Structure 1
Amino acid sequence: MELSFKQAIIPVITMAFLIIMSVLVWDVPIQIALFFEIIIIVCLSFIWGYRWKKIEKMMFSSFRSIGNVIIILFLIGMMIGLWIAIGTVPTMIYYGLETINPEYFLVLSFISTSLVSMAIGTAVGTASTIGLALISIAETLGMSLPLAAGAIISGAYVGDRMSPVSSIANITAHSAEADILEMVKSMMKTTILPYIIAAIVYLIIGLNLGGLGENAGGFLELTAALDSYFMISFWMLLPPILIISMAFLKVPTIINLAINIIFSLILGIAITDRNWSGLLNIMFQGFDESSGITFIDNILARGGLTSMLELISLIIFAVILGGLLEQLGVLDSILKPIVHHITGKIKLAVVTVFSSILSAILGCNQFLAVFLPARMLIPHYDRIKVKRKELARALGDSGLVFSPLIPWNVNALMMTAVLGVDTFYYAPYAFFILIMPLSNILITVIKHKKELID
């Protein structure tokens, strides 16, 4: 059964209403909004003639794709707890406080995470290594965590979007039937301006923060406290070096994280005074010790497998919702009336950007954000004689990179899990990501400006 536009728009409207109400009026977790939205869509499915067995199948159609995500989140939670306990995160904070000028912290965070993400091709890997250290340093400096997270996530998704070793970048190229290297070259055209603008904005904000480092107070006391409670040593930097090296060698994420956890356990037992039982409990419950030092008891109290349970519940609801919307063909029904009236290359680019972001919103993950619009728009790109690499670029500049700014999207949930900052708070400061869709449209308009004259 193919839904009409009027039918398809109903779940979109109810979803928007419930999310707005849950955040601004009811002040309840977004899981509750998604739960009631699922109930509404199930009721609509019955009205539209679907039987329960079919509805149940649609609900769980995307579950195969989240098994990896759940395992990765559990592994990251355990790894973060371990890294704090054995001294890896404290060592990164210690050296960071000694070397980073607070005025340049934001711009350096953006640039450094972008370079790491280009090297290893994964935003999650970037955030859970250098990003984790940077957000801890930001908290130590007394800096706005949403602002710091915005800079870190902006940099992390530079490589996630266009690194040749990025899995989602390769999926984007494959979905658009474009060559990955041609797509990356094409993406450079829309990347340069947003990258420069974001870097300048982060620099200006950092300079205007002025004496933040001095106001944070007592750097010497903080470093002394870290040194007194943890093992501060170059050896403690081996776990992040290992995880980045293995990601660069294209070792699958789950294997990479599992090996790192085992390595960190062995390192902790061999070098620190912590015992096996204590570290295993920290892997499960997170680091939460009463040291008497406010910084350690508050800022470093995080990690552990259990810390991921709330986010995983949100992922489960989001995936059920995404499966229903995908299988019902909601996106297709909404976009078909628009797509069939495309006559020019500029309009085609605008529709691509819009449909990809909408797919990321409704599908709750990056894969659907690039795959669904690509399948729908390929015939129109061929009809208007636009190269496939431009389709791939438009998808990468919109739904792919925009996913971490959608609170119920799996990518946003993973960033929140690692950095500990809610999507609603960091999204306004992810300047590179916010500019990317506009950059794509601007470059297309400049290239095909004759269409505007005609």
Structure 2
Amino acid sequence: MLSFKQAIIPVITMVFLILLSVLFWEAPIQIALFFEIMIIISLALIWGYKWQEIEEMLFSSFRNIGNVILILFLLGMMIGLWIAVGTVPTVIFYGLQTISPQYFFILSFISTSLVSMAVGTAVGTASTIGLALISIAQTMGLSLPLAAGAIISGSYVGDRMSPVSSIAIITAHSSEANLMDMIYHMFKTAIIPYLLTALGFLFLGLSNFSSTTNIGDLELLSQMLNEHFQISFWLLLPPILIIVLAVLKVPTIINIALNILFSLLIGIYFTERGWSELLNIMFRGFSNRTGIDFIDNILARGGLTSMLELISLIIFAVLLGGLLEKMGVLNSLLKPFLHLIKKKMHLISVTIISGILAAGLGCNQFLGVFLPAKMLGKNYDQMNIERKVMARALGDSGLIFSPLIPWNVNALMMTAVLGVSTIEYFTFAFFPLLMPLSNLLTSYFEERK
């Protein structure tokens, strides 16, 4: 066990390098993590560790992420197919048909939450239907920060608890919890915040109603989608299928693999694309040019290769987490506070605070989940608390709070896609803001039973 003074050094250097990378170098966070790993290895050698021990620590957590990487590759292939065959354009098309200015914000929240549950990615939801919605809000003359808050609130519903969400899968594996048990447990803390968020956006929509809406713009966008993509209710079957199979507790890998095969068959039947083109889209993503920049920007995504950047981040984070865990860095930092944990509520509170801090220090969701899980897992076992409780606390803190931290990668991506700064949309992202409080209150009443 390292001393507190020793343990604080890697934390300070990590914060320094990540801030340099994000704010000044304009380099991917992977580079900062690489240099941080080099620094910790150097410190370990100075502190007396042998290289064989360091190598074992580096790769100690790799056995737990093989299936996660496979799922991420499958998700990339599936999303590319969904765009190519017309599933995502169909979702956007039908969404446009139901939009009315006074109900725009609540419909944006509900529609993005449904899409995010189907596709399992906040960034994917925001960059497809979210981008369309923010553009529509602009043409309607509605508040863009409020629209961004609604879109982000809905997008992170699925990011947190969709059966096909990569970060939800990572949360379950990091916490050593069953994925479906974790998702069911997460619903308990999500119901009230979801309803309060919906009511909040309904009230704000009615009170901010504007009659300056240009219906023609909505009709033009719908017409462009209809001209360049096959639009059909049948194309909604892939996301419906993946939700049904998830409810039936079909293993996630089998679920997504079956959906890929089903989407391929739909692509052959509903589109003029051949097997070769669809298979290449599975690998490289959808990048066909319609000649309309707006539509091209919305739908150019997916493919196996689109997951490589995320997987590289996961690999570096796992290497870093293995070092921090096995060297006792994180335990040394928490040790002065662990003696204060006497009850279940104390441990859950520490988990939530640690998750948010880790998401802020690590600048991404993965470290916000992975590091606290490795730090506190043994405490849950010692107090005979199920790991799904820890997974839920992490989902309601580091995972869901990431888009509200201005220097976090998730917040930067949301700003890049929606064109609204974190500071502007922060107060309107009701769902992420309510989740930590909901978890604490729910856990309190569960403990009192």
Aligned residue in 2 for 1:403: 399
Q: Which moved more, 1:21-30 or 1:106-115?
A: 106-115
8 Å Cα contact 1:102-1:141 kept in structure 2: no
Q: TM-score, normalised by structure 1?
A: 0.76
- 1:253 correspondence with 2:252: yes
Q: Which moved more, 1:266-275 or 1:356-365?
A: 356-365
Aligned residue in 1 for 2:136: 141
Q: 2: distance between equivalents of 1:66 and 1:413? A: 21
1:342-401, CA deviations, whole angstroms, 9 ceiling, x for partnerless residues?
Answer: 56787555434334545676772646644642422565x68xxxxx48x96576235654
Aligned equivalent of 1:376, options 379, 385, 394: 379
Aligned residue in 1 for 2:153: 151
The percentage of aligned residue pairs carrying the same residue is 51
Q: 1: distance between equivalents of 2:255 and 2:212? A: 35
Q: How does 1:277-426 map to 2 (within 5 A)?
A: 277-342=276-341, 350-357=349-356, 364=367, 366=369, 369-370=372-373, 372-376=375-379, 379=382, 388=385, 393=389, 396-398=392-394, 401-406=397-402
Structure 1 129/266 Cα, relative in aligned 2: closer, same or farther at 3 Å?
farther
- 1:37 correspondence with 2:36: yes
8 Å Cα contact 2:152-2:429 kept in structure 1: yes
Structure 1 32/302 Cα, relative in aligned 2: closer, same or farther at 3 Å?
same
TM-superposed deviation, 1:205 = 5.4
Q: Which moved more, 1:397-406 or 1:289-298?
A: 397-406
Aligned residues: 422
TM-superposed deviation, 1:214 = 3.1
8 Å Cα contact 2:197-2:431 kept in structure 1: yes
**What secondary structure is seen at the aligned counterpart in 1 of 2:272?**
coil
TM-superposed deviation, 1:294 = 2.9
**What secondary structure is seen at the aligned counterpart in 2 of 1:267?**
helix
8 Å Cα contact 1:80-1:303 kept in structure 2: yes
Structure 1 55/425 Cα, relative in aligned 2: closer, same or farther at 3 Å?
farther
8 Å Cα contact 2:79-2:302 kept in structure 1: yes
TM-superposed deviation, 1:434 = 3.1
Structure 1 175/271 Cα, relative in aligned 2: closer, same or farther at 3 Å?
closer
Q: 1: distance between equivalents of 2:400 and 2:337? A: 26
1:398-444, CA deviations, whole angstroms, 9 ceiling, x for partnerless residues?
Answer: 5654225448xxxx98999999959x967946433333334455678
Aligned residue in 2 for 1:385: none
8 Å Cα contact 2:85-2:271 kept in structure 1: yes
Q: 1: distance between equivalents of 2:277 and 2:415? A: 24
TM-superposed deviation, 1:170 = 7.9
Structure 1 321/149 Cα, relative in aligned 2: closer, same or farther at 3 Å?
farther
Structure 2: give runs of 5+ residues left out of the alignment.
139-143
**What secondary structure is seen at the aligned counterpart in 2 of 1:94?**
helix
8 Å Cα contact 1:287-1:303 kept in structure 2: yes
Q: 2: distance between equivalents of 1:142 and 1:304? A: 29
Q: Which moved more, 1:338-347 or 1:238-247?
A: 338-347
8 Å Cα contact 1:127-1:153 kept in structure 2: yes
Q: 1: distance between equivalents of 2:59 and 2:231? A: 47
* Aligned AA (2:305): T
**What secondary structure is seen at the aligned counterpart in 2 of 1:299?**
helix
Q: 1: distance between equivalents of 2:124 and 2:239? A: 6
Q: 2: distance between equivalents of 1:372 and 1:401? A: 15
1:280-315, CA deviations, whole angstroms, 9 ceiling, x for partnerless residues?
Answer: 222222222222223332221222222222222222
* Aligned AA (1:327): K
* Aligned AA (2:130): I
Structure 1: give runs of 5+ residues left out of the alignment.
383-387, 449-454
Aligned residue in 2 for 1:6: 5
Aligned residue in 1 for 2:63: 64
Q: 2: distance between equivalents of 1:173 and 1:74? A: 22
8 Å Cα contact 1:289-1:297 kept in structure 2: yes
8 Å Cα contact 2:355-2:398 kept in structure 1: no
Structure 1 22/100 Cα, relative in aligned 2: closer, same or farther at 3 Å?
same
Q: 2: distance between equivalents of 1:237 and 1:366? A: 32
TM-superposed deviation, 1:135 = 2.7
Aligned residue in 2 for 1:240: 239
8 Å Cα contact 1:81-1:302 kept in structure 2: yes
TM-superposed deviation, 1:55 = 1.0
Q: What root-mean-square deviation, in Å, do the aligned CA atoms of Structure 1 and Structure 2 show?
A: 4.3
Q: How does 1:112-123 map to 2 (within 5 A)?
A: none
Q: TM-score, normalised by structure 2?
A: 0.76
